């Protein structure tokens, strides 16, 4: 068999002598050109359709977000209102978050446990503040089979009370402390309005619960876990966060102090990305969690809890995504590299693509060998946020090179096939680092300062982002600001700045600098 020398994809071949092929050459190639032009036109329209299906984020950020979630095939709606299906591409991101976060937990001595999903009503009712905080959104089980239950059971909205019930028995002596437990599970909160990854009636999360002999140790653990979250967000998700303490108004029901990490989304709204609570000995006193200390006296334990949820995936979408879809930081990308063969029907192209996949085996790599056009494959790789694609075609093979294209910057880098392993690794590392820097720049550009109410109002009327302002510490001022501007205090950052002497709201002497914002 002799393939036509022209670019007709090898479809038109002659088994006869070279002369015959030469004789057919012109007409073959014209036919193939016409055919390929027609094909290209169809493909372009199809590619355009795929991209057009996403609303531009400048036009409607909320719709853009929903479009990305759907088109990147992360989640799907179900017949249960407010509950979602995690599709393979979405669940794989959660698995990578889980695995890497769990490693970081364990490095600090955390052990995983699993507690029941039901809480008896009497147990939930024990802590007054706690139950008031959760009662409006609790789902109840009233029957076991056909029999009404003697006592209603709630489906856990969080597990503080269950952990207290457990620690009450597990902790007797100072030798049983500390207890550093975590559980990966789902919880149920009957939310009225739901949003993919950000708010759903059942959601996946982790909740850590610890018990300590002293108040100092509990406080240390509370801050330690906040730091684990902050480092995780920056190093793995490439999302910079502000670490700080919540005001009393915004703290967790039943906590003496709540610490938070706050991230800024592309639209200038804040997203609380993880929280860590110090409960002091409040829960211990309510639930009777006591231990005999070294000095032989009976003492109450000091407790903490800390949690992150699949909201982190929402944060990744809203911090890094663009109008072509998802952009995943390499460390949580289920597929880090997509090898896309160009003219894959040409001899040797697919073999080379598979060979590259093998050589890139240290990464999460795939070959798109479907019969879709390269243009379609590019759009798909972009929509799904795959960090880099490797383009390899006959001409590249001949020249001993390939082209690596970065999802975030779309930069095309020519790489010699000999050094593809090292180069791909370097590019992924660089991308991870630059995505964080880019997100940090965006946050800095959207962080403002207000010294008086007029500036404060103007900023929230005209801009979107964080506004830093001084606060007197009175809840009345916080309430007034929230009511008037529909913004909340995000946190009192650990890194305080003295941007003024007086409270932005009442003019009395200021105690703390606060980050304010509209939040998800």
Chain contacts with Zn ion (rule: CB under 5 A): 472, 474, 477, 503, 505-506
Q: How far is the CB of 338 from Zn ion (least distance, A)?
A: 54
Q: How far is the CB of 499 from Zn ion (least distance, A)?
A: 15
439 vs 472 by CB, closer to Zn ion: 472
Q: In this structure, are residues 188 and 201 in contact, taking their beta carbons and an 8 Å threshold? A: yes
239 vs 472 by CB, closer to Zn ion: 472
- Per-residue burial over 42-59, b if 16 or more Cβ lie within 10 Å, else e, is ebeeebeebeeebbebee
Residues paired with 272 in a beta bridge? 262
Orientation of helix 88-107 relative to helix 311-320, angle to 10°: 110
221 vs 245 by CB, closer to Zn ion: 245
301 vs 503 by CB, closer to Zn ion: 503
Q: How far is the CB of 480 from Zn ion (least distance, A)?
A: 8
Q: How far apart are CA 261 and CA 202, in angstroms?
A: 23
Q: How far is the CB of 103 from Zn ion (least distance, A)?
A: 44
449 vs 474 by CB, closer to Zn ion: 474
Q: How far is the CB of 477 from Zn ion (least distance, A)?
A: 3
Give the phi and the psi of residue 338 in degrees, each rounded to 5. -115, 120
388 vs 472 by CB, closer to Zn ion: 472
Decide the pairing of beta strands 139-144 and 75-77.
unpaired
Q: Is 12 left (phi over 0), alpha (psi -120 to 50) or beta?
A: beta
216 exposed, middle or buried (CB, 10 Å; 0-12, 13-18, 19+)?
exposed
313 vs 470 by CB, closer to Zn ion: 470
Q: How far is the CB of 470 from Zn ion (least distance, A)?
A: 9
Q: Which residue has the tokens 């100072």?
A: 174
Using CA atoms, how far residue 407 sits from 255, 300, 381, 421, 431, in Å, is 42, 53, 8, 18, 9
Helices (H), 14-120: 18-52, 61-71, 88-107
DSSP state letter for 213: S
Q: How far is the CB of 473 from Zn ion (least distance, A)?
A: 7
- Strand order, beta sheet including 118-120: 118-120, 147-155, 139-144
Residues paired with 447 in a beta bridge? 466
164 vs 510 by CB, closer to Zn ion: 510
DSSP state letter for 156: P
Residue 295 makes CB contacts below 8 A (sequence gap 6+) with none
User: How many helices (H) and strands (E) in the chain?
Assistant: 15, 25
Give me 474's structure tokens: 């009175």
Give the phi and the psi of residue 345 in degrees, each rounded to 5. -80, -15
420 vs 492 by CB, closer to Zn ion: 492
209 vs 246 by CB, closer to Zn ion: 246
Q: How far is the CB of 451 from Zn ion (least distance, A)?
A: 13
**SS3 for 267?**
coil
Comparing CA positions, the residue from 320, 314, 321 lying closest to residue 435 is 320
Give me 314's structure tokens: 């929402």
Q: In this structure, are residues 504 and 456 in contact, taking their beta carbons and an 8 Å threshold? A: yes
Q: How far is the CB of 61 from Zn ion (least distance, A)?
A: 32
Q: How far is the CB of 247 from Zn ion (least distance, A)?
A: 12
Q: In this structure, are residues 291 and 298 in contact, taking their beta carbons and an 8 Å threshold? A: yes
Q: How far is the CB of 485 from Zn ion (least distance, A)?
A: 14
365 vs 477 by CB, closer to Zn ion: 477
153 vs 472 by CB, closer to Zn ion: 472
Q: How far is the CB of 408 from Zn ion (least distance, A)?
A: 42
Q: How far apart are CA 151 and CA 162, in angstroms?
A: 16
């Amino acid at each position: 068999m002799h393939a036509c020398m022209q670019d007709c994809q090898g479809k038109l071949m002659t088994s006869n002598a070279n002369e015959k092929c030469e004789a057919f050459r012109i007409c073959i190639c014209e036919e193939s050109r016409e055919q390929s032009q027609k094909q290209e036109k169809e493909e372009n329209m199809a590619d355009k359709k795929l991209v057009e299906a996403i609303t531009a984020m400048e036009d409607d950020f909320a719709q853009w977000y929903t479009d990305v979630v759907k088109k990147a095939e992360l989640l799907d709606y179900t017949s249960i209102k407010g509950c979602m299906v995690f599709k393979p591409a979405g669940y794989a991101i959660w698995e990578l978050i889980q695995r890497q976060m769990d490693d970081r937990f364990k490095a600090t001595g955390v052990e995983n446990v699993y507690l029941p999903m039901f809480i008896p009503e009497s147990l939930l009712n024990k802590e007054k503040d706690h139950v008031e905080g959760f009662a409006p959104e609790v789902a109840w089980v009233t029957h076991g089979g056909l029999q009404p239950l003697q006592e209603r059971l709630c489906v856990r909205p969080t597990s503080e009370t269950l952990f207290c019930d457990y620690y009450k028995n597990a902790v007797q002596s100072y030798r049983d402390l500390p207890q550093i437990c975590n559980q990966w599970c789902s919880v149920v909160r009957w939310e009225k309005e739901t949003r993919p990854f950000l708010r759903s009636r059942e959601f996946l999360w982790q909740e850590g619960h610890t018990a300590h002999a002293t108040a100092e140790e509990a406080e240390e653990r509370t801050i330690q876990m906040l730091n684990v979250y902050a480092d995780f967000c920056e190093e793995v998700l490439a999302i910079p966060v502000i670490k700080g303490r919540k005001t009393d108004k915004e703290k967790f029901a039943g906590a003496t102090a709540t610490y938070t990490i706050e991230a800024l989304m592309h639209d200038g709204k804040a997203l609380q990305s993880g929280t860590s609570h110090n409960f002091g000995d409040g829960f211990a006193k309510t639930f009777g969690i006591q231990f005999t200390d070294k000095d032989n006296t009976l003492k109450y334990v000091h407790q903490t809890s800390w949690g992150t949820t699949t909201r982190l995936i929402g944060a990744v979408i809203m911090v890094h995504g663009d109008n072509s879809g998802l952009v995943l930081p390499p460390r949580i990308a289920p597929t880090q590299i997509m090898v896309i063969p160009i003219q894959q029907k040409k001899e040797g192209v697919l073999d080379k693509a598979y060979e590259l996949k093998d050589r890139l085996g240290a990464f999460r790599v795939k070959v798109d060998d479907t019969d879709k056009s390269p243009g379609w494959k590019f759009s798909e790789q972009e929509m799904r946020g795959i960090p880099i694609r490797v383009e390899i075609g006959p001409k590249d093979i001949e020249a001993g090179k390939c082209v690596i294209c970065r999802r975030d910057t779309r930069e095309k880098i020519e790489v010699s096939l000999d050094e593809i392993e090292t180069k791909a690794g370097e590019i992924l590392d660089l991308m991870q680092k630059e995505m964080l820097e880019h997100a940090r720049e965006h946050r800095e550009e959207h962080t403002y300062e207000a010294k008086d109410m007029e500036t404060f109002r103007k900023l929230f009327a005209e801009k979107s982002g964080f506004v830093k302002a001084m606060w007197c510490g009175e809840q009345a001022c916080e309430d007034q600001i929230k009511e008037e501007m529909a913004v909340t205090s995000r946190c009192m950052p650990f890194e305080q700045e003295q941007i003024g002497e007086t409270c932005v709201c009442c003019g009395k002497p200021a105690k703390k600098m606060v980050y304010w914002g509209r939040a998800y």
